[in-house]
Structure formats: structure tokens, C-alpha cells
Amino acid sequence: MLAQFLISLSLHKMELHSFSLQGQLSILQEKIDHLERLLAENNEIISNIRDSVINLSESVKDGQKNPEMLDVYDILPFDNPDGGVWKQGFDITYNENEWNSEPLQVFVVPHSHNDPGWLKTFDDYFRDQTQHILNNMVIKLQEDNRRKFMWSEISYFSKWWDGIDSQKKDAVKRLIKDGQFEIVTGGWVMPDEASSHYFALIDQLIEGHQWLEKNLGVKPKSGWAIDPFGHSPTMAYLLKRAGFSNMLIQRVHYSIKKHFATQKTLEFFWRQNWDLGSSTDILCHMMPFYSYDVPHTCGPDPKICCQFDFKRLPGGRVSCPWRVPPEAIHAGNVQHRAWMILDQYRKKSKLFRTKVLLAPLGDDFRYAESSEWDQQYQNYQKLFDYMNSRPEWHVKAQFGTLSDYFEALRKESNVNEKSSNSFFPVLSGDFFTYADRDHHYWSGYFTSRPFYKRLDRVLESYLRAAEILYSMALVQSSKSEKMSVFPSVDNYKLLTEARRNLGLFQHHDAITGTSKDWVVVDYGTRLFHSIMNLKKVLIDSAHILILKDKGAYNYDTSTPFLKMDDVQSSQDSLPRKTVIKLTSQPRYLLLYNPMDQERLSVVSVNVNSPRVKLLSPLGKPVAVQISAVWDGATTVSHEAYQISFVAHLPPLGLGVYQLLEVQSSEAVLADYNIYLRNSRQEKPDRLFKIKEMQNSVDNIILENSYMKLWFSGMSGLLEKINTKEDGKNHQMKVEFAWYGTTSNRDKSGAYLFLPDGDAKPYIFTDPPTIRVAHGRIFSEVVCFFHHVTHTMRLYKVQGQSLEVSNIVDIRGEYNRELAMRISSDINSQNRFYTDLNGYQPPCSCLYVCVPPFPSALLFD
């Protein structure tokens, strides 16, 4: 840029000379103006370059990379000493005079945590609790303009909004405008940050934000994540890119909280670890104590704080487990009670760098009843009024929203975007794996209900494909009258519903697998319906796009133009491949690549005849492997045959292949070796070459041009890999193992991983049946164990791809979980890296934790 501008400047100088000779003064004036503009631009470019050089040299001079969570993990002992009233912390003291020159500013922030499904379904929670909370909010905030409230889950908010009258809507808009009511985060849900993929994280954030923009004209600026089980920097990055300035997190390992409290680093700028500057910095507040409920948010002593949760007044349905109940505030006790809570506020403020204090006031599904609003807001107002009337207490207490707090914090610390890291520290890294106490590591949920975690990824891939194809079809359909019958409105509704169902499933009790069985069925049904609906959107959109003669377009719902190649019959069943019936007339097979990159991948479909011919989109014959479709481990079905081929598609491309039945096929059949321990002596198959290997224990070998694999002839499991490029052998031993759980009351479950020691080998009394296939496109070893069918497939096409899949059924087991272990000779020093949200490596982990790995696992 710079060079180009300089060159054009010198050219202009020459022109200037010749023009002046001709005396064309007005043109000259224009040229001079133009020159001045260019000069100004040049100056700006140079000054930008100078700034970035200064920034760079400063960071080089400091010789420091961003402080990393990795380093923190290295120095912490992860011991668990008793910290007194603040069990996981330490004794906090202060000096009475500390606030004399500058008073303590307390923001009590009322909130209600509404899970979109957990112990009840989304709809049941809405009916029983959430709608009442929001209805009362409108009434109770209008009673006193000092009252504040906030909300984060737009899935609930939008459902409520659709059912209220315009008067109520106007009142809500007024409350937002006056700053009494704030939308925080504003995603469709408060998403899980470990199991979720970034595609879905963005999707649910956009869904919420677009709803807010359209209906309320609101753009959230502060993030509120009090319940996700561990926190990912991906979320910090997405919030920053969505225009947020601030965020709050809560569920962080207690040892880290304690460490940050001692260092006063609970408030920090969270920076992405690839960021060499500060462009990804977002101000983050980490809540210091055990929970987001009232006992753990006013200060370090839950026994005291619980007495300031006025929903727990005697006679109510909830009480204080510390056995000292709250007292309603009146003239006779206000001095004592105000002093008690101020002492907690002061102690809590000692963990932070400023004299601005955040005191959240809420819990799960709070503020549902009108009386609860009165109990909390009236009693706290009395406490505030009393505190604020005592100048010698040096405190100003009030209700606030999250952004009220952050605004005051920024003002007090003089933080503006430019001098961000002068007052608060900068930190990079993640907060996994979460433990709330003892050895209660919340890594159980990384693998809970894997069936639905998979269904989530399937829906994501359909959603992406359908959104892109629909958009292209929409453009096509507007080009002619004939195509305007394309059901654009109906399909758009289906897309929106699918985005919302996917969004809902990102909730921290949904994709995590931590909700009740019937709630899981509710989520599963939503995912399942949306997958079916998206198939319809894909079919309708592809139809309009592949027609050569667009004039022939005719939309008829009763006879869909295309069919999908698999069918899932219910929310909890595995998909089945449809069998394509072949004739001598070609049948069309349409493939779509929803990626923005060219793709070469192996595609398999089932057909009813082995005498098959496949033609590419250009009409050329394509090499095909025909594999048997099996009924069980050893019986060939002759109802269907699987054909596999290498498909090559351009970015976002559609390819039309032709399939037909021919007299003599050039397709190559796979052949099979079946390793059996009991004699069977079946008669030979009429098509496939199947060799029975009675009692053979020789190694099984698979090979392509990149690698050679050795499998045990006994178990069928991988033992060794040779990489042909360097000729090296690597131990790569696959085993299955069982984890049991502790004999204590606390057991492994949906949330926790609490095993009874090391995993025990998976022992089989009868060696498994092993089926080995050799083919021109791929070869594979399939082992049939009692609880798992394990497949390792080696492709013979570009790339060194080895694919592992397991179909597990442990429904007959109790308090046991199955693990697949890979032991290698890589000297990783107990350290390995996994990705976060499919978006960024690394979430680095030591042996203390089992990290989430949504899509990748790496060793050094």
C-alpha cells in the first residue's frame, strides 16, 4: 500500500509541471487537492505503521508472552485445605479506614437463572415458572424506578414476548430504555462451552441477537455465564467479535479461584493466545466463591449471606442449610443487619482491585412469585437506605444491572480500550476442567449421552448445507415467474426452527447430557424433527438448482423430486441406508459439498444389485468397490450391496452422478476373511469371496501407499503402525477398558467422572469374531465384542486416513463405563492438547484433568 501511494505521488509531480506550463489553473487546483488528500493518506499509513512497530518492540522488550493459564496449572498444588468460613479460600481481614477517602460502591444485581430444560422440559419450565417471572418483572420494576433486573436466555424471552400484549411490550421497552432492565449476553441460551462446536455457539448467539435487534432494538454489551461447567476462550472471542466489552464467568476450579483471589486477578483482560496485540481483549469478571446463589455471592461467609436471601424467610418453602434464618428488616434490626452485610461486602471487595463491588442476588428460577419480589426488593432497599445514610460507613449501595457494575468499574479504574492492560492483568487460556469441590472433576459430561452429542453434529452439518443451498435457490427462484412457486417462506420457517432447536440444544444441560431422561427425549425429538425438515429444505433447494431447463420447474409436495439416502425412524434410533433400486435406465445420485474447499472423499450408498455402473458428472465411468451388506457379523444379505467410490466436488458444488444396472459390471468386489473360534462350515457365498480363518491367531495386516497397520489376530485390535514416508514403526495399541465408580456416596454420573481407580482391561472369555475386508477403495477390520462393534478402516485414496468407529451398547451395565485406550510410544510427558469448540487449539491438559475434545486431540 505504502509503496504504491509513493509511486503515484511522484508521477503526479511530473504531470503538475506539464500542466502549469499550459496554464490550466483550475485543473491544477484539482490536482493539488488530490495530491493533498494522497499526502494525508500517506501520513496516516505511516503513522499506523509507526504505532504497530512501537507496539511490537514493546512486547519484544518485555520479552513476555501473555500470561497463560498453562503456567498457572503448573504452579498450583491443587491441594484442598480448609479455608474457614470460606471453605475453599482464606480468612479475609480489612482495616476500618480503608474506605475513608473513597467509599465502597456496591451494586446488588438481581437475576434469575432459567435453564431452557433440565429437571423439566423447556415448555414446562416456561409454563410453571418463567412466564410468571417475566410478568412480575414488568409489574414490580415499575413500582420503584430504583429497582433493576436482567435476563439472558432469549429462547424464553421470545416465547414470552409472543404471548404478551402491546401495552406490556411498551412497558418492557421503557424499562430497557431507562436502564432498569438489561439483556445480558442475549444468546438463545447460556451455552455449554466444552461439548459445543463453534458453529452452533455462533448460531445461537446470532439467533438471540437478531431477535433482540428486530423486536427490541437492543444490542447487549455484557456477557453473563454463571452456570456453564467450565469456560472456553472461544466464548470470550465470540462475545468480543459481537461487540461486547465485558463478560462474567463463574464455574472455575476452586483452586484457581483461590489463587486468583490472592493475586487480585479475578478481574482480567481475557486475550486469545494467538493474539500478539490486544485486539481480542475483553474485560472478564470471575466470581470468587462456590456458587452463584445468594449464600455465595454477598461475601465469603455463606452462613451470613444466606440470611440476606429473603426468599428464605421463616415460613417459606426454602430455608438456610446453615440453620440461621434471614430476618425481615425493620427499624429495630436495620443497624445490626446492615452492618453484618456491609462486613461481607467489604471482605469480598478485598479480593478485587477497585472499590466497586458486584453482589449478584438470585438463583435458579427466582422471582416467580410477586411476594418474592417484595421480600427481596423491599428488604434490600431498607438496608441500602440505612447504609447510605451513614456517611461514616463510607458506602453507597444500590440495585444495579451487570452493565451498571462494569461501567462504574471502568470509570473507577480509568480503563478505556487504549490503556486496557495497565490496571487489570491480561490472561490467555481456558478454564477446564472444572471442579467445584474435592476431586469432583466435571469431566463426566464430556461423554454423557454421546448419541445426542452426535445427533447435534449431524444437525449442524445439515443446517449449514441447507442454509447455503436455500440461499442459492432463493436467488434462482426470483429469476422467473415459473420458479416463484418455490416454497421460500415455508422453508425459511423450517430453517429458523432448526436454528432455534440447535440453539436450544447448546444449553448447558442439553448438549452436556445432564438433564432428566424425558427432557433428553424432548431435545432429541426437536433435533430429529429439524433434521427431517432440513432434508426437505435441501431437496427443494437442490431441485431448483440442478434443473437444466428452469422452465420445466414444477413444485409438487406429494412427489418429492429427490430422496435422501438415509432414514432415521425415531429420535433415538440409528439411521438406516435406503436401498437404491437400479434399472438399465440411469438413476441420478446428487452429491453436495457444503464446504468452501474442493473435496475428495469416499461416498458409499446402498443399491439392490451388484451389477452396477457409475458415471461421473462428466459422464465418465467411475471406479467402484462393492462391499457386502451384512446381517450380523458373518451373514451376507443379498437384499443390498454397498457401493463406494471417490467423489470429487468443487467448493459448494453439486455433482450429478448416474447409477445404472448393467450386464457385466467392472466394479470390484471386496473380499473377506472371517476369524472364527468355533467351526461353522457355511456354504460359500454366491458372490463374495469369504474365507473362514478357523482358530488363526496370525497378525492381520492392512496397507495403503502411506501406511501399514498390524492388528492382533486374537482381538482384531490395532497394535502397530508403519509410516512409509520415513519407514518408521510406531507402537499404537488399541484396547478397551472399563471404569467403575467410587464406593462413596458421590459417584460417576452425568456430570462427574469419579472412577474407582485405574481402568480395568476389557476381558472377553470368547475371542471376538473378526471380519476383515480388502477392497480397492478401502479395507477394514471389524471386531464384534459383546458391548462394542469396533471398526478400523483404511482408505486407499489421497491422504493417510485411518477411520475409527465404535458402536457401543452398554445399556445392560450398571455404574460402569467403557473406554477405548490408545497406548503409543510417543513421549508426551503426560501433556497433550485438544481443541476447544472445534475452533482453536490448544486446551492443554495434564494428568489431573480429562479435557473436552469436541473435534481433535494432539500430542507433542
Nearer Cβ to Zn ion (116/767): 116
The phi, psi pair for 81, rounded to 5°, reads: -75, 155
Please state the closest distance from residue 433 (CB atom) to Zn ion, in A. 18
Nearer Cβ to Zn ion (115/467): 115
Residue type, 604: S
In whole angstroms, give the CA distance from residue 766 to residue 754.
30
Largest CA distance in the chain: 107
Helix (H) or strand (E) holding 808: strand 802-808
Nearer Cβ to Zn ion (115/182): 115
Please state the closest distance from residue 108 (CB atom) to Zn ion, in A. 21
Nearer Cβ to Zn ion (362/842): 362
Nearer Cβ to Zn ion (152/265): 152
Q: Which listed residue (192, 193, 227, 309) binds Zn ion by CB under 5 A?
A: 227
**Stretch of 223-231, 402-410, 643-651, 776-784 lying at the interface with Zn ion (CB under 5 A):** 223-231
Nearer Cβ to Zn ion (152/376): 152
Are 551 and 480 spatial neighbours (Cβ–Cβ below 8 Å)? yes
Q: Is 193 in the site for Zn ion (CB under 5 A)?
A: no
Helix 488-505 vs helix 517-546: angle between axes, to the nearest 10 degrees? 150
Q: Is 115 in the site for Zn ion (CB under 5 A)?
A: yes
Please state the closest distance from residue 128 (CB atom) to Zn ion, in A. 16
Q: Give the list of residues 6+ apart from residue 733 with CB closer than 8 angstroms, or none.
A: 717, 718, 719, 720, 822, 823, 824
Q: Is 835 in the site for Zn ion (CB under 5 A)?
A: no
Q: Give the list of residues 6+ apart from residue 714 with CB closer than 8 angstroms, or none.
A: 697, 767
**596: number of CA atoms within 13 Å, CB side?**
2
**Stretch of 202-210, 219-227, 419-427, 677-685 lying at the interface with Zn ion (CB under 5 A):** 219-227
Beta-sheet pairing, 395-399 with 788-795: unpaired
- DSSP codes joined into one string, 707-769: EEEEE-TTT--EEEEEETTTTEEEEEEEEEEEE---SSSS---SS----SSSPEE---SSPPE
Please state the closest distance from residue 519 (CB atom) to Zn ion, in A. 13
Please state the closest distance from residue 516 (CB atom) to Zn ion, in A. 14
Are 468 and 217 spatial neighbours (Cβ–Cβ below 8 Å)? no
Q: Is the peptide bond before 842 cis (omega within 30 degrees of 0)?
A: yes
Q: Give the list of residues 6+ apart from residue 256 with CB closer than 8 angstroms, or none.
A: 69, 72, 76, 431
Which CA distances in Å does 654 have to 541, 547, 582, 657?
A: 11, 12, 22, 10
**Stretch of 39-47, 110-118, 292-300, 569-577 lying at the interface with Zn ion (CB under 5 A):** 110-118
Are 825 and 166 spatial neighbours (Cβ–Cβ below 8 Å)? no
**Coil/strand/helix, residue 230:** coil
Helix (H) or strand (E) holding 791: strand 788-795
Please state the closest distance from residue 818 (CB atom) to Zn ion, in A. 29
DSSP for residue 680 = -
**176: number of CA atoms within 13 Å, CB side?**
17
Nearer Cβ to Zn ion (159/350): 159
Nearer Cβ to Zn ion (382/507): 507
Nearer Cβ to Zn ion (128/809): 128
Nearer Cβ to Zn ion (193/835): 193
Please state the closest distance from residue 190 (CB atom) to Zn ion, in A. 7
Catalytic center residues: 227
DSSP for residue 96 = G
Please state the closest distance from residue 242 (CB atom) to Zn ion, in A. 21
Phi/psi region, residue 830 (left: phi>0; alpha: psi -120 to 50; beta: rest), is left
Please state the closest distance from residue 482 (CB atom) to Zn ion, in A. 51
Phi/psi region, residue 837 (left: phi>0; alpha: psi -120 to 50; beta: rest), is left
Nearer Cβ to Zn ion (363/456): 363
**Stretch of 156-164, 220-228, 788-796, 842-850 lying at the interface with Zn ion (CB under 5 A):** 220-228
**Coil/strand/helix, residue 217:** coil
Please state the closest distance from residue 334 (CB atom) to Zn ion, in A. 34
Are 647 and 602 spatial neighbours (Cβ–Cβ below 8 Å)? yes
Give the other-Cβ count within 10 Å of 386's Cβ: 19
Taking CB atoms, the residue at the shortest distance from Zn ion is: 227
Please state the closest distance from residue 181 (CB atom) to Zn ion, in A. 21
**Stretch of 221-229, 294-302, 615-623, 747-755 lying at the interface with Zn ion (CB under 5 A):** 221-229
DSSP for residue 392 = G
In whole angstroms, give the CA distance from residue 594 to residue 458.
13
**Coil/strand/helix, residue 182:** strand
Q: Give the list of residues 6+ apart from residue 789 with CB closer than 8 angstroms, or none.
A: 782, 783, 806, 807
Nearer Cβ to Zn ion (185/571): 185
Please state the closest distance from residue 295 (CB atom) to Zn ion, in A. 17
- 599-635 burial, b at 16+ Cβ within 10 Å, e below that, comes to eebbbebbbebbebbbbebeeeebebbbbbeeeeebe
The footprint of Zn ion (CB under 5 A) covers 115, 227
